[in-house]
Amino acid sequence: MLVKAKPISYTMISSYNNCPWMFKAIYIDNLDQYKVKTDALVIGQTVHTIIEEFINNWKVKLTASPQKLLDEAIQKYLPTLKDGLKDEVIGILNNLDLGIIEMLRGKDVESEKAVALDINLNPVDFFSPDAVWRGKFDFVWIDEFLGARVVNILDFKTNREATADPLQLQFYAFLAHHYYKLEPVDMVNLYFWYLKQEGQEAIIHTTAKYSEHVDEFIAMPAKLFEQSEYPATPGEHCRYCSVAHHCPLVKDLAKSPEQVQSKNIEELVDAYLPLKQALNIIEAKINEALEQKEEIEGAFVKVKRKEYNKTVLDEQGLREYLKSADIPANVLWDSVSITQTLFKKLGLKIPEEYVTKEVAYRIEVVNKEA
């Protein structure tokens, strides 16, 4: 099968590596026009939009308080979210160290920088029909050091685990080297800022090693678009798949709960991840089976029941407690739920009388080795 290739991005390569069927569904069959916009996607997009607006305003309003500009950006975009997501976005942005941002003052920082290369590795417009590889840098600036140019790329992450993907690092270095026409002695510095982490652990820095991966990226268009088969490969990525309800592993289960009841539990284990967004009845049936056994194996994954302690806060009582502690109104918004993260940021300890513990269970999915 030969199809017209689209410009290659890191997201496309990552999608293919996770699940070739997902890549084909989104980038060849265009099923993403019916995709489900997951909460994780909405949160990530909103956080990026708020940070971009904040930094763009901060660059021109040199005397304004960074915290005030950040609050203004939050107030502008927060109303666009459903209530359940507002607290998480605020919690993530509370981890934005404004002192680090302040270090960028005076540098020519570009936000949402769109770059693209043609087949000869020359820079072209992002939307050019000649674009073969392209990407967007959250923030990029160039330093001059002893006659050499250093390209600095800062990428904000809203996922929970602070584990930089080597593929993204390599691909960004590949784009930057050719887009900015760097000589071999010049450098690309990459910074991944994980906003759900705190302190120095939140930022992962690496100096890109460009030359090792040139051939791999040059061969990527043929690898992605000239395959004869695109198998569905279940795994943790299914939780965030925007086209999971089209997945061949689940067929028509999403349309008919009766189909679920007719399947054996092992088949449902394999269907669980891609169907999670479309049909919660599978989770209920797996949970019921896990009451009788420790774990269940399908062809691709296995599941087991994991016990954890769920912390339940008396939000109303804690809100009154915080007001009595003279927490400023701009910190304690009436619309914000009380969270453990908020107390940590304020340097306060939650009084024990406002906390209870409950035992809860969740399904833990383990990918089976091939």
Q: In this predicted model, what pLDDT tens digit does every residue of 159-179 receive, in sequence order? A: 767 677 888 888 998 899 899
Q: Which residues are paired to 116 by β-bridges? A: 134
In this structure, of 144-153, 238-247, 287-296, 309-318, the range with the lowest mean pLDDT score is 238-247
Residue 271: per-residue pLDDT: 66
Contact indicator for 314, 370 with CB cutoff of 8 Å: no
The residue extents of the domains of the chain are 10-220, 236-299, 309-364
101-124 mean pLDDT:
86
Q: What pLDDT is stored for residue 1 in this prediction?
A: 39
Judged against a pLDDT cut of 70, whether residue 223 lies above it is answered with yes
Q: What is the pLDDT of residues 33-90, one digit of tens each?
A: 555 566 777 888 898 899 888 888 887 776 778 888 888 888 898 888 877 788 888 8
pLDDT at 90: 86
Q: Is the pLDDT assigned to residue 220 strictly greater than 70?
A: yes
- Calculate mean pLDDT across residues 205-227: 79
The residue-averaged pLDDT of 334-358 equals 77
**pLDDT at residue number 2:** 41
CA pseudo-torsion sign 31, 33, 38, 44: positive
- Give the number of other CB atoms < 10 A from CB of residue 71: 16
Q: What is the pLDDT of residue 276?
A: 56
265 with 296: CB under 8 angstroms?
yes
How many C-beta atoms surround the C-beta of residue 21 within 10 A? 24
**Residues 6 or more apart from 31 whose CB is under 8 A from it?**
25, 243, 246
Query: DSSP character for 127?
Result: T
* 110 membership: H or E segment, kind and range: strand 110-117
Percent of the chain with pLDDT over 70: 78
pLDDT of residue 131: 94
> What pLDDT was estimated at residue 367?
57
CA atoms within 13 A on the CB side of 164: 21
Q: Answer whether CATH 3.90.320 is correct for domain 10-220.
A: yes
Query: Which pTM value belongs to this model?
Result: 0.64
Structure-model confidence comparison of residues 280 and 144, the more confident one = 144
Q: Give the pairing type, strands 355-367 and 203-207.
A: unpaired
pLDDT-derived band at 149, boundaries 50, 70, 90: confident
User: Could you tell me which residue, 337 or 152, shows the higher pLDDT?
Assistant: 152
69 vs 346, higher pLDDT: 69
Residue 8: the pLDDT is: 92
3-state class (DSSP) for residue 192: strand
Close Cβ partners of 46 (under 8 Å, ≥ 6 residues apart): 77, 80, 81, 85, 89
Mean pLDDT of 330-338: 63
Name the DSSP letter for residue 69. H
Range of weakest confidence among 25-29, 209-213, 265-269: 209-213
- What is the average pLDDT score of the chain? 78
Per the model's pLDDT, the better-predicted residue between 17 and 207 turns out to be: 17
Query: Which pair of structure tokens corresponds to residue 62?
Result: 């040199």
Confidence bin at 3 (pLDDT 50/70/90) = very low
